[in-house]
Amino acid sequence: MKTITRLHFLKLLLAGCAFAPGLATLGRGLDQLRGERVGWARLKTPSAFWKRHSGSDPVLMQFFRRETTLNIDPTWYVADVENLTELCRFPLLFSQGVDLVQSDSGHTNVAEHIRRGGFLLIDACCNPQITGDYDDFLRRQIAFLRVAVPEAQVVVLSPAHEIYRCYFEIPEGRPPHTFYQNVYDPQKAAHGLYGLMVGRRLAGVISLSGLQCGWDKMSAPPGHDVACMRMLVNIYIYAMMQAS
């Protein structure tokens, strides 16, 4: 697959994506209007859990294809943090966490992907045995990014941010992330989404939501899986709709 820049992806998105009611002036496209196929990739890091829940990634891909006309490949791909060429094949990289990336080359590659217009989505698994303390998880991701991309800032995204309504309307501007095994988690509920800002561009999101656990249908209230996938669609589309 050739390298896909964010600008190129934007052209594909405009050509092939059916926008939600909030962008309804473009109308709902037909399946034959799908653009060039794009892929979904997980960032391979030294973490033992970098591909946790990946078996259900095709569920998310099918949701994309059902709810939009984005021609996303149903297969998930690997983007090794040590291989910049692999990283640059994908406009968005999904990660379980970047804090365990220790090598200079890994730091450089993540930074270069972002500087070329790429987007990094970090999502903490909702299992406390995997993530541990969520506040500490957040601190570790921020510490890595401050070193790798010193020109960037991590900020709290307001509930009024367009990422919560650019495709689906996310209730109250809050990510759907407050349950684990059907138990409400107030520690996670205190967090929204965190944005990695490079100048005025949103270059990444840190989520404590366990969105991946949602589309893997972990124990949660009915409809939680759909809510998590809707949030992911919004993140994906918003990431690609920004000006270069």
> pLDDT tens digits for 75-92?
889 999 999 999 999 999
What is the C-alpha to C-alpha distance for residues 88 and 4, in angstroms, rounded to an integer?
A: 7
DSSP character string of 119-145: EEEEE--S-HHHH--HHHHHHHHHHHH
The answer to whether 5 and 115 have CB atoms below 8 angstroms apart is no
Of the CA atoms within 13 Å of residue 156, those in its CB half-sphere come to: 8
Please report whether residue 110 resides in a domain: yes
Nearest to 233 by CA among 190, 176, 153: 176
CATH (domain of 171):
3.40.50.12140
Please report whether residue 78 resides in a domain: yes
**SS3 annotation, 12-54:** HHHHHCCCCHHHHHHCCCCHHHCCCCEEEEEEECCCCCCCCCH
Please report whether residue 117 resides in a domain: yes
Please report whether residue 98 resides in a domain: yes
Please report whether residue 43 resides in a domain: yes
Please report whether residue 62 resides in a domain: yes
Domain range holding 49? 6-240
The answer to whether 77 and 24 have CB atoms below 8 angstroms apart is no
Compute the residue count for the chain. 244
For the chain, the domain total comes to 1
Of the CA atoms within 13 Å of residue 198, those in its CB half-sphere come to: 23
Please report whether residue 235 resides in a domain: yes
Please report whether residue 1 resides in a domain: no
Per-residue pLDDT of the chain (244 residues; tens, 9 = 90+): 344 445 444 444 444 333 343 333 333 333 433 445 678 899 999 988 888 877 788 888 889 888 887 888 888 899 999 999 999 999 999 999 999 999 999 999 999 999 999 999 999 887 777 777 889 999 999 999 999 999 999 999 999 999 999 999 999 999 887 667 777 777 777 888 999 999 999 999 999 988 887 776 665 666 678 898 999 999 999 988 875 4
